[in-house]
Amino acid sequence: MSRATMRAFVLTGPREGEVREVPVPDAVAGEVVVDVERVGVCGTDVEFFTGEMAYLHEGHSSYPMRLGHEWSGTVRAVGEGVDPAWLGRRVMGDTMLGDRTCRRCRRGRQHVCERRQEVGIRDGRPGALAERIAVPAWSLHVLPDRVDAALGALVEPGGNALRAARAADVGPGDRALVLGPGTIGLLTAMFLRAEGVEVHLMGRADESPAFARALGFDRTWTEDTLPDLPFDAVVDASNAAHLPALALDRVEPSGRVVYIGLAGNPSRIDTRALALKDVTAVGVLSASPGLADTITAYATGTVDPRPLVAATVGLDRVADVLAGHPVEGAGPGPKIHVDPTLP
């Protein structure tokens, strides 16, 4: 007899969450049920934990909720109308689920659909911090053998970073500055480096540059030590409200600034500088258009993000991770993964 319930981490309120037994999802028409193997914890999850996430105040999300939008696993059941060939396939899934009928979706921009669901983020689509998850079959991406569970759960943040790197529109002989050496910033730096770009990283004074340098990024600075160099592109992957303006200030005329980080408070830039420097500014939301190419980059070894994962824990440790408590034995990387099968 199949199980009626499964273990899942449920966020019940600001700074309140616990592992509960919840109903196992059904494979309804057009959807699959996946055995979750690995889930990444990200800054968005932390904002939901603290209660700061804007979606909570805008009515898009509410407690109780199940987090988890960076995940990988194996398909165990398919619903009506789904090709049974999906069974047993190793997959990851898109976070942004458009309605597939509106003008934006029809133009291939389902990640900005006004009526989109967001896995583990918006109400109506529980996330992957559980033993199983149900998602539409069309949102899946197959993982090749060379992309293991850990890499699979890094595809979603990697897709965001790939899009940011591409938006910078730089290549060999160009110089780029990435603000914020967290998961997205480091992944962006990796994709830029793979294109032959001279990459510089800027972090806070209280952040050790040792980890970034261990990844091969020797040009790592703080705001006070950042050299006066011409940067052909600047990517803001930070959560500091003042850095979007610094990005515009430091980019070369006719260069590009890419905004992928989000601050808790509104940021300000001087559009006169934007116009008078003839700068192109690009905002990046969602990994959706970059997922397939990120999988290819991981499979070919063009980018190897494994060192970013500091530790892998079970569901019982999720609350501690969200609260910022240190994980015993963790490495120096910025990312914590969750394996729902761990005790």
CATH architecture assignment, domain 5-154+305-338: Alpha-Beta Complex (3.90)
Burial bucket for residue 248 (CB in 10 Å: 0-12, 13-18, 19+): buried
Q: Fill in the amino acid letter for 18.
A: E
Q: What are the structure tokens assigned to 66, written together? A: 């199940």
Residues 24-74 have pLDDT tens digits of 999 999 999 999 999 999 999 999 999 999 999 999 999 999 999 999 999
For position 1, what pLDDT does the model report?
46
The predicted model scores a pTM of 0.96
Residues 285-304 have pLDDT tens digits of 999 999 999 999 999 999 99
CATH ID of 158-283, from 1.20.1730.10, 1.20.1250.20, 3.40.50.720, 3.30.360.10: 3.40.50.720
Domain ranges of the chain: 5-154+305-338, 158-283
> How many Cα neighbours within 13 Å face the side chain of 269?
22
In the predicted structure, residue 343 carries a pLDDT above the cut 90: no
Residues 141-155 have pLDDT tens digits of 999 999 999 999 999
Residues 116-141 have pLDDT tens digits of 999 999 999 999 999 999 999 999 99
In the predicted structure, residue 214 carries a pLDDT above the cut 80: yes
Q: Fill in the amino acid letter for 132.
A: R
Per DSSP, the three-state class of 304 is: coil
Q: Tell me the C-alpha distance between 328 and 315, whole Å.
A: 15
Cβ pair 192, 176 in contact under 8 A = yes
Cβ pair 169, 197 in contact under 8 A = no
CA-to-CA separations, 248 to 223, 231, 256, 259, in angstroms, rounded: 14, 10, 8, 10
Residue (of 39, 166, 159) closest to 94 by Cα position: 159
Query: What single-letter DSSP state applies at residue 25?
Result: P
Residue in the block written with tokens 């197959």: 142
